[in-house]
Structure 1
Amino acid sequence: MIAYALAILFLVLFGRNVRRDRRRFSNAVLLGLAVAFLALGLLGELDRLPPVVLDAVAVLTPFAALPAALAVAVCLLANGVVMARHEGTRLANLLSLGAGLALLGVIALLLTAARVDSRPLHVVAGAVLLPAGYLAFLLLCFLGYSWLYGRLPVRRDADFLVVLGAGLIDGDQVPPLLGARLDRAFDLAAAQQARGRPPVLVVSGGKGDDERCSEASAMADHLIARGVPADRIRLEDRSRNTAENMEFSATLMAAERERYRCVVVTNDFHVLRTALITRRAGVPGQVTGAPTAAYYWPSAVLREFVAVLVSYPVHNVCAILLLALLGGAAGWQG
């Protein structure tokens, strides 16, 4: 009953926070805690099963968990290879490969510690296991709330649709990733125009060292080619990252309309972190996502997750160090 009560409590807190502002990472954690305590409550119901069935579940669960973890690791490794072939070997493209190798390392460490009677090895295993569990929990929270937030409908008409830039190909061509964002913005603009309130589209992105024009310029040309009037497009062509996208776009929008509402368009993997950034920048609006190629999604999500972790350095470093100490102490006593 306590687990169910805690699940309800965290669900109520989640609902209250979402009503106040959807763009908080605490929403993801509260939802994750509600689901975790609900799962604990359901596990507690296993005590009501016949002893034979309960013993079978206790024996089979570890055997099911190991193949599942190995399958996840293999999928991450395979995706890392695909990313390297399609996108190159930059560090950001190798995150799924690194995550797969790290997961295999943790599995090997835990299996070895379970078989070898070595106190130092048990200390290391404990110090690794609890922080790994913490990071896995936060990743699941991130995935769950990203999925939920990305499917929330746009609540009201916007004065501006802000399209975030991405790298160009061949120096001045819109790649499929960026094209999906522009298509999503075009559809939103067309739907709003049909209701009699055509929005202004803000295309946001500066010029990279390997590009012949700014991302904003290429995006504007793409939209004009699709029939968007040039006078309905504004260019923000100075930004180099998402934070600057929002900062410079906010200045542009506020100069044109003091009390404005906007919708920010990016890709689905980028939605939650962009929402966190819009909140910090004081931008009044919602973030919506465009679809992403399946092979690109795992590494992109891991990159976004790492970026969110880094944006809360004190909380996460303290939590990881504390859990490592507790896990190491448990391994020493065991």
Structure 2
Amino acid sequence: MLAYAPALLCFLVFCVGVLRERRRFGNAVFLGLAVVFTAAAWLYELHRAHPHAARDVGVALLALVALGIVVLAWFLISNGAVMVRKEGASPANLLSLAAGLSLVALLVLLCATVVSRDRALTVVTGTAVALAGYLGFLFLCFAGYAFVYGHLHLRRRADFVVVLGSGLVDGSTVPPLLASRLEKARVVHQRLSRRGRRPVVLITSGGQGPDEDLPESHAMADHLVAGGFPDDLIAREDRSTSTEENVRFSRSIMEKANPDYRCVIVTNNYHAFRAAMISRREGVRGHVVGSPTAGYFLPSAMIREFAAVFLAYRRTNLSLCLLVFLGGAAIWWLG
């Protein structure tokens, strides 16, 4: 059972991390490491007890991974086509298509290496697979913990509900994506108001873009009021132009009204964990919840969120990617 010690240690670190600060990306990594070490320990113990069964399981797992990559590539390419048809061919909407084509290119490279058995191509393929494996591991950590974070218990007390803006349609109309956030915020506000001893203030957060007729926060507030929400319980934060500014400027409003505040931040489900990471960096005391998002929109949105998180830790991630690349170069040179 000693083989399971690394997995247990990583899981304990994960549990402590969640209890101390649930909004850290490190929690996602330790959860992913716990899963990987558990699988590795299970295979090791199986190999010791039943070598032939372990070999068969290993072959089956490799075949399953290969099939999974093929299916994933097909799914991402199909989703990319849907995104272009429904949302347009902007760079952000092409992410799932680009990811699918990258997986196809990796499969072609692997097949070419097996057929040619060229040494240089083998090193290039090995380096590409290692980089893809690193990125894939981090993405699964991010997506898995984002799901876990979205199901963590919401605190019973909060003084504010903050809704993050996401842009307007035709300069003044709240789009379905933003309407989903506002509906989730209304539900959360009702729940907290029943529990609290004082009125909970709802903050709509969003400034005015160059193609918008009014600040997003004002359009969001108008949308809520039109649906019957009390106008006197709405505060409008109308200066922000990014998630960081949404959180920072809303924090100023909350601290001014109540230095000992607690809050719930509402965004879409794909954005919730990264918004939570940003709120931690900005020193905001609260939890982030997500509203539903159209299924076809999620793959590109999750890839975009992961890319933003990857770049937020770019020194560490790019350093590790460079080490993988240099390792491949060293193997080619020494061979």
Report the TM-score, using the length of structure 2 for normalisation: 0.95
**Deviation for aligned residue 1:194:** 2.2
**Deviation for aligned residue 1:18:** 1.2
C-alpha distance in 1 between matches for 2:276 and 2:65: 34
C-alpha distance in 2 between matches for 1:257 and 1:266: 23
C-alpha distance in 2 between matches for 1:118 and 1:110: 11
SS for the counterpart of 2:236 is strand
**Deviation for aligned residue 1:153:** 2.0
- Counterpart position of 2:102: 102
- Counterpart position of 2:236: 235
**Deviation for aligned residue 1:63:** 3.0
C-alpha distance in 1 between matches for 2:81 and 2:145: 28
The answer to which of 258-267 and 322-331 deviates more is 322-331
C-alpha distance in 2 between matches for 1:73 and 1:93: 16
- Counterpart position of 1:145: 145
Structure-2 change in CA distance of 1:105 and 1:3 (3 Å): farther
Letter in 1 for 2:247: M
Deviations 1:194-223 (A, max 9, x none): 234431000001112222111101110111
**Deviation for aligned residue 1:65:** 2.4
C-alpha distance in 1 between matches for 2:60 and 2:9: 32
SS for the counterpart of 2:157 is coil
- Counterpart position of 1:188: 188
RMSD: 1.7
Q: Which runs of 5+ in 2 are unaligned?
A: none
Letter in 1 for 2:171: G
Aligned: 1:270 with 2:282? no
Larger RCO (CA under 8 A, 6+ residues apart):
1
C-alpha distance in 1 between matches for 2:5 and 2:240: 47
CA contact (8 A) 1:269 1:301 kept: yes
**Deviation for aligned residue 1:329:** 3.7
- Counterpart position of 1:226: 227
CA contact (8 A) 1:122 1:328 kept: no
C-alpha distance in 2 between matches for 1:328 and 1:65: 26
CA contact (8 A) 1:129 1:327 kept: no
Structure-2 change in CA distance of 1:259 and 1:57 (3 Å): closer
- Counterpart position of 2:309: 308
The answer to which of 302-311 and 165-174 deviates more is 165-174
**Deviation for aligned residue 1:53:** 4.1
- Counterpart position of 2:283: 282
C-alpha distance in 1 between matches for 2:58 and 2:18: 38
Map 1:57-96; keep pairs closer than 5 Å. 57-96=57-96
Structure-2 change in CA distance of 1:3 and 1:101 (3 Å): farther
C-alpha distance in 1 between matches for 2:10 and 2:54: 29
The number of residues matched between the two structures is 334
CA contact (8 A) 2:156 2:195 kept: no
Structure-2 change in CA distance of 1:18 and 1:60 (3 Å): closer
Structure-2 change in CA distance of 1:185 and 1:329 (3 Å): same
**Deviation for aligned residue 1:42:** 1.6
- Counterpart position of 1:131: 131
- Counterpart position of 2:23: 23
CA contact (8 A) 2:83 2:94 kept: yes
C-alpha distance in 2 between matches for 1:138 and 1:3: 23
- Counterpart position of 1:8: 8
Aligned: 1:33 with 2:33? yes
CA contact (8 A) 2:29 2:141 kept: yes
Report the TM-score, using the length of structure 1 for normalisation: 0.95
Letter in 1 for 2:9: L
Aligned: 1:155 with 2:152? no
C-alpha distance in 1 between matches for 2:256 and 2:68: 53
* Percent identity for Structure 1 against Structure 2: 49
Q: Which runs of 5+ in 1 are unaligned?
A: none
